[in-house]
Amino acid sequence: MSASFDQRYIRNFSTLSEADQQRLHTARICQLGLGGLGGTLLEMLARMGFGRKGKGWIRAADGDVFEASNLNRQLFCLESTIGRPKAEAALERVQTVNSEVDLSTWQAVVGPKDMPDFIQGADIVLDALGDLPTKLALRQAAAEAGLPMISAAVAGWTGFITTQLPGDPDAGIFQGVLGQNDRTEGAEVPLGTLAPCVWLIASLQCREAVALASGHPPLFHGCLHIVDLTDASWERITFH
């Protein structure tokens, strides 16, 4: 390994093996959403060494622009980036954090009909979307492509995370637990979104991506983990 490699990832090696780290480098990641959850998650992926140039890649998309209401929790939202596309700011930020990452960003809303093309060639799909209908569409696209997907969301002091693996039952179970509706906005709109919960759930999502990419058993498969920071409770709902 080069000296720069040693220095950049040296603090990973008390926990990860060199083989684990190499697997992160070769991982091919598709992520939808670059807001509070997605922006924090993407930076964690970059710092961990996912998608190293010449070995793997990260592809991320978001069609939105930053506004002042994003400043309370969105990592890539600065006073200087208000009004700028989230995808553009994400690319610039990651290049300053880890220039070894092969990141491409799409400044677009990736709808259900575009999802199969967007996730093509990936090893892992990351869901950092807000509304349930779009999450369900991505879940279906990942299932049809035979790809694992790590899904999460945050609203107020509460967040959830779950992992879908190829061959799992269809989205009906997931939908039944969360409840389907026709809202075009996520629960974070009426409930608000707080930075501590966003960063906690993003950390869990990144941890799960490390497990999948390095070939270790997933932590959140077959169940929905719900964390409530109002009272520090943790609920685990198993899919049957």
CATH number at residue 114: 3.40.50.720
Q: What pLDDT sits at residue 2? A: 45
Q: Is beta strand 149-155 parallel, antiparallel or unpaired with respect to 57-61?
A: unpaired
What is the structure's pLDDT at 239?
82
The Cβ-side half-sphere exposure at 33, using a 13 Å CA radius, reads 24
Q: Mean pLDDT in runs of 10 for the chain (240 residues)?
A: 68 93 97 97 98 97 97 96 97 97 97 97 97 93 97 95 90 56 52 90 98 97 94 90
Amino acid 4: pLDDT:
59
In the prediction, which pLDDT does 151 show?
Answer: 97
Q: What residue has token string 């709808």?
A: 111
Contact at 8 Å (CB) between 62 and 44? no
Could you tell me the sign of the dihedral formed by the alpha carbons of 133, 131, 116, 225, in that order?
negative
Output the six-digit token pair for 91: 């690319």
Q: Cβ(50)–Cβ(214) under 8 Å? A: no
Q: What's the number of domains the chain is made of? A: 1
Cβ neighbours of 39 (radius 10 Å): 28
Strands across the sheet containing 103-106:
103-106, 57-61, 28-32, 124-127, 149-155, 158-164, 223-228, 233-238
Predicted pLDDT at 145: 97
Residue 55 phi, psi dihedral angles, 5° rounding: -125, -50
Alpha-carbon distance 151 to 63, whole Å? Answer: 19
- What pLDDT score does 193 carry? 87
Contacts of residue 131, Cβ cutoff 8 Å, sequence gap at least 6 = 183, 184, 185, 186
Tokens encoding 117: 């093309």
Residue found under tokens 């939202």: 77
Helix H or strand E segment including 174: helix 172-178
The range of the structural domain enclosing residue 177 comes to 3-238
- Structure tokens belonging to residue 174: 């997931």
Pairwise CA distance, residues 63 & 5, whole Å: 34
Q: Quickly count: other Cβ atoms within 10 Å of residue 212's Cβ.
A: 22
Residue 154, burial from CB neighbour count under 10 angstroms (0-12, 13-18, 19+):
buried
- The whole-number pLDDT of residue 24 equals 98
